[in-house]
A and B are shown apart, each in its own frame.
Chain A
Amino acid sequence: MSNKLLEIEDLCVNAENKEILKGINLTINKGEIHVIMGPNGSGKSTTANAIFNNPLYSKTQGTIRFCDEDITNSKTDEIARKGIFMSFQMPEEIPGVSVTNFLKYAKSKSTGKPVKIFEFKDELKKYMEELNMNSKNMERSLNVGFSGGEKKKNEILQMLVLNPKLAILDETDSGLDVDAIRTVSKGIEMFKNSENGILIITHNTKILSSLKVNYVHILIDGKIVKTGTQELAKEIEENGYSKYKNI
């Protein structure tokens, strides 16, 4: 069995007829945490959306494989069911659909098996406690009236419940206070094991301090210009991106 989870090869992506990604290569193996850093507009979120084949983005070149299967043109829901998860920068609000019902439904879809409601609720409660979430949120409409922090925690909750092979966290830390960032990191640690992988897309390094990151990639103007270790993130924190902008 191959150790590879995600393999992106020479990926070029347009959004609104503008070329955003200009040839990305990225391989994530089981047990690895990867980080993509980069200034605004460099294509970080486009990478996440392209992996999920968001119809608003069009791929002009390259392939994406997941567990040795070509998913370049698969539908978003199929990609999710193969075991990829994405935490959204701005999670959508779904009035009238409770967190419990939504997750129960999503879980039954991702596992292909019916969910046992009592076990499921216990599991949900346990995770919510770990994430310092109000258990009353279980019965509230998904993300409706949630604060920014609650929404982000809810994304982490979904990750834990759906237990994907690869989790992509798109700016999950942005706009969070120190305590919330700590909670999110805790959720990531709970999730992490030797069989799964994580791709963190971020602006800042706070979220990385408590995690054992394997690779840091610097994305500038649609290209990965530098790959390094956690040290590279520190360097960016101190000096910014200017050094890499004119490569």
Chain B
Amino acid sequence: MSKTNIEEINRNIYDIKNKDEYDYKIKKGLTKEIIEEISKQKNDPIWMKEFRLKALDVYNSLEMPTWGPDLSELNMDDIATYVRPKTGLSNSWEDVPEDIKNTFDKLGIPEAEKKSLAGVGAQYDSEVVYHSMKEELIKQGVIYTDMETAVRKYPDLVKEHFMKCVPVNDHKFVALHGAVWSGGSFVYVPKGIKVDIPLQSYFRLNSPESGQFEHTLIIVDEGASLHFIEGCSAPKYNKVNLHAGCVELYVKDNAYLRYSTIENWSKNMLNLNTKKAIVGNNAKMEWVSGSFGSKISMLYPMSILNGENAKTEFTGISFAGKGQNLDNGFKVIHNNINTSSIVNAKSISKNGGTCTYRSLVRVNETAKNSKCSVSCESLMLDDISKSDTIPTSDIRTDEVEFSHEAKIGKISDKTIFYLMSRGISEEDAKAMIVRGFAYPISKELPVEYAVEMNNLINLELEGSIG
């Protein structure tokens, strides 16, 4: 809360650039030969190699999306899609090379692991360099490992679920992901097992002019529960980096999953990520999302409510500063009776940044007696910033309760004057108002992340007073 807090925080934590050292970096571009080479480098089973090549064909057959932010600066000929770090996978931080370990140290990952996490995965460029989970969970049959290990060790589970929730022809960047994916986490929580302490995977992209395409696949089996946290960041370079990850979540009958994200990509990143969840009978899927970084973000997590009484909640915030265009939102499909969805989306834009809330709500004929409530609020900190709301609803049954509320506002001079009359400086008053605006979201985050989010807000607001 105090000014000293603001000064303690330094964007440098996120901007640490390690030397672009790697064991292997594929040449830039996207051709059949390159995909075959990635597959060879990754020692894929044959089915995966074939999958990648098919995905490349799909990629080539699809058009660039033109309905959102301008992606014309993205040229795949300038992007290296696979960078293998100079280290293998380890389950001890001691064995992780020092500069890489230092980076994760500064991001607070090993510290959080000791204090408040049941397991951690850490990816550096294209491969996971660290993965570990508490002994109790291993004994209970919980699986938490990097995606490559899962492909090798649990081929049936992976084949049954991999890119079934997010089909490869969903859109162009999903197809790209299917062709070049590398890294990511695999989680399986067996029936009835409640994982009380969160698991966390952190994705760090260090290499310039490259992409990160991690694949996260989580299966929470019947009656089980899990809180999974995803963090991401990258140092800033002058040229475009690309993130096109894919998250597939299966929340089986009576299961519960909360998926929290704090994304703080650098401002040269195009974040074209895809996340979907399939939710079973009486199951509940909660999304909590903080989106701060990237130059362009197009991210619309989706819940598919297939089961009776399936529920989903989305709580998200975007914060766009100078030169940022964050086009985020949420999609939900109600397929069964008594399903419900609650959306609480907020955005903050300043210094000419653009935030768009884009959403889809579809309630199918089969989803009688369903409920959907959407609330989105935007706060603009000055006259040059932009905010927009583009909701789409497609309701195919009469027996539904649907509400949508949108508010767009600015910080009023009166409010700032009120706070200043209590001895609070203009800068601190603005930060206080913005933190208060974000509070309904930050209170949903694990406490360290709530602190990080407040720090990011302070960081974003620093020097924003003219």
Contacting pair B432 A77 (CB below 8 A): no
Determine whether A12 belongs to the interface, using a CB cutoff of 8 Å to chain B.
no
Determine whether B239 belongs to the interface, using a CB cutoff of 8 Å to chain A.
no
A80 (CB) vs chain B CBs: closest residue = B423
Interface positions of B (Cβ within 8 A of A):
1-2, 412-415, 417-426, 428-429, 432-433, 435-440
Most buried by A among B412, B420, B428, B429: B420
A48 (CB) vs chain B CBs: closest residue = B421
Given A105-B424, A106-B424, A91:B418 Cβ within 8 A:
yes
User: CA–CA, A105 to B1, complex, Å?
Assistant: 7
Contact of B422 among A54, A95, A101, A162 (CB under 8 A): A162
Which residues from B are CB-within-8-Å of A95? Answer: 436-437, 439
Determine whether A120 belongs to the interface, using a CB cutoff of 8 Å to chain B.
no
Determine whether A55 belongs to the interface, using a CB cutoff of 8 Å to chain B.
yes
A78-96 contacts to B, CB under 8 A, are: 79-81, 85-86, 88, 91-92, 94-96
Contacting pair B436 A109 (CB below 8 A): no
Contacting pair A88 B418 (CB below 8 A): yes
* Sample of 10 more A-B contacts, CB < 8 Å, known A56-B413, A77-B420, A80-B420: A86-B421, A91-B418, A92-B414, A94-B419, A94-B436, A95-B437, A96-B436, A105-B1, A106-B424, A108-B2
Determine whether A97 belongs to the interface, using a CB cutoff of 8 Å to chain B.
yes
Map CB proximity to B onto A42-71 as digits: 1 under 8 Å, 0 otherwise: 000000000010111000000000000000
Determine whether A141 belongs to the interface, using a CB cutoff of 8 Å to chain B.
yes
Contacting pair A97 B439 (CB below 8 A): yes
Contact of A81 among B414, B423, B429 (CB under 8 A): B423
Which residues from A are CB-within-8-Å of B436? Answer: 94-97, 141
Which residues from A are CB-within-8-Å of B426? Answer: 75, 77
Given A94-B436, A95-B437, A110:B419 Cβ within 8 A:
no
Most buried by B among A88, A91, A92, A114: A92
Which residues from A are CB-within-8-Å of B433? Answer: 94, 97
User: CA–CA, A52 to B439, complex, Å?
Assistant: 30
Number of A interface residues in the complex (CB < 8 A): 31
Most buried by A among B417, B425, B429: B417
Most buried by B among A55, A76, A158: A76
Which residues from B are CB-within-8-Å of A158? Answer: 422
Contacting pair A109 B418 (CB below 8 A): no
A106 (CB) vs chain B CBs: closest residue = B422
User: CA–CA, A94 to B429, complex, Å?
Assistant: 10
Which residues from B are CB-within-8-Å of A52? Answer: 417, 421
Contacting pair A76 B417 (CB below 8 A): yes
Contacting pair B437 A77 (CB below 8 A): no
Contact of B1 among A54, A77, A101, A162 (CB under 8 A): A101
Which residues from B are CB-within-8-Å of A79? Answer: 421
Contacting pair B437 A109 (CB below 8 A): no
User: CA–CA, A170 to B415, complex, Å?
Assistant: 16
Can you sample 11 A-B contacts with CB below 8 Å?
A55-B417, A76-B421, A77-B429, A80-B422, A81-B423, A88-B421, A94-B436, A95-B439, A96-B439, A106-B424, A110-B423
Contacting pair B413 A55 (CB below 8 A): yes
User: CA–CA, A76 to B428, complex, Å?
Assistant: 13
User: CA–CA, A102 to B1, complex, Å?
Assistant: 10
Most buried by B among A77, A81, A109: A77
B4 (CB) vs chain A CBs: closest residue = A114
Contact of A94 among B415, B425, B428 (CB under 8 A): B415
- 3 residue pairs, one from A and one from B, having the closest CB atoms: A96-B436, A96-B439, A80-B423
Most buried by B among A56, A96, A158: A96
User: CA–CA, A141 to B418, complex, Å?
Assistant: 15
Contact of A96 among B415, B422, B440 (CB under 8 A): B440
Contacting pair B425 A77 (CB below 8 A): yes
Which residues from B are CB-within-8-Å of A141? Answer: 436
User: CA–CA, A114 to B440, complex, Å?
Assistant: 26
User: CA–CA, A97 to B433, complex, Å?
Assistant: 8
Which residues from B are CB-within-8-Å of A86? Answer: 421
Contact of B435 among A55, A92, A97, A114 (CB under 8 A): A97
A52 (CB) vs chain B CBs: closest residue = B421
